[in-house]
């Protein structure tokens, strides 16, 4: 694995900026992002299937796969830990290709269909650490429900975030941070095995 950069990014995330990012880059993200999980994604796709306009524009937007916990006094939300991104793999490629979705935030690896969509349409997948839900929630300075309020915490929110810590997992060039990490570990383990002989 090569040395990675640390970046401060502001939303919206343009294709040009997305194409500069590389798997493994550390990012502090500030600005407006959207939220949505399985139920919201399903409704978005159903809306597209009916030929209707989406309730929110996804052009150059980033969707955070999260269902925030209730807000404590004086805060816009509570904890905001990422959910498993693979649950959105059936929906995200179409949102990327047809609606201009530029970025996704979640936890865990993505399937090849997502990696291909990132390559084809200039999108990126960011990883967030699941155990940092309380910290991530503190980086949200404002939250407003934009669509599907009946879904409760799984509604589509508009979050305003400041210095939201992320890692680029899948980039526009086909880079995959998790695969690179596993390969590095395998090489290290092989070297240790030889030393033990």
32-54 pLDDT, tens digit each: 999 999 999 999 999 999 999 99
Residue 184 — very low, low, confident or very high, per pLDDT cuts 50/70/90? low
**CA 127 – CA 81 distance, rounded (Å):** 11
Digit-coded pLDDT (tens) for 101-135: 999 999 999 999 999 999 999 999 999 998 889 99
Burial readout 159-196 (b: 16 or more C-beta within 10 A, e: otherwise): bbbeebbbbbbbbbeebbbeeeeeeeeeeeeeeeeeee
Contact at 8 Å (CB) between 105 and 84?
Answer: no
pLDDT recorded at residue 132: 86
Residue 52's contacts (CB-CB under 8 Å, 6 or more residues apart) are: none
Residue 182 — very low, low, confident or very high, per pLDDT cuts 50/70/90? low
Digit-coded pLDDT (tens) for 131-179: 889 999 999 999 999 999 999 999 999 999 999 999 999 999 999 998 8
Could you give all domains of the chain from N- to C-terminal order, each with its CATH number? 6-196 (3.20.130.10)
Residue 193 — very low, low, confident or very high, per pLDDT cuts 50/70/90? low
pLDDT recorded at residue 180: 63
């Amino acid at each position: 694995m090569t040395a990675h950069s640390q970046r401060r990014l502001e939303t919206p995330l343009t294709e040009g900026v997305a194409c500069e990012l590389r798997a493994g880059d550390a990012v502090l993200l500030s600005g407006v992002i959207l939220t949505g999980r399985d139920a919201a994604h399903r409704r978005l796709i159903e809306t597209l299937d009916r030929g209707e306009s989406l309730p929110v524009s996804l052009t150059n937007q980033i969707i955070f796969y999260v269902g925030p916990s209730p807000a404590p006094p004086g805060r816009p939300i509570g904890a905001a830990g990422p959910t498993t991104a693979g649950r959105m793999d059936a929906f995200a490629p179409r949102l990327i290709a047809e609606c201009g979705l530029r970025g996704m935030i979640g936890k865990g690896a993505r399937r090849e269909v997502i990696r291909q969509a990132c390559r084809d349409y200039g999108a990126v997948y960011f990883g967030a650490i699941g155990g940092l839900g309380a910290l991530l929630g503190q980086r949200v300075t404002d939250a407003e429900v934009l669509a599907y309020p009946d879904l409760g915490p799984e509604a589509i929110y508009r979050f305003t975030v400041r210095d939201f810590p992320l890692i680029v997992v899948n980039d526009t060039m086909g880079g995959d941070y998790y695969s690179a990490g596993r390969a590095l570990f395998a090489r290290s383990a092989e070297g240790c095995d030889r030393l033990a002989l």
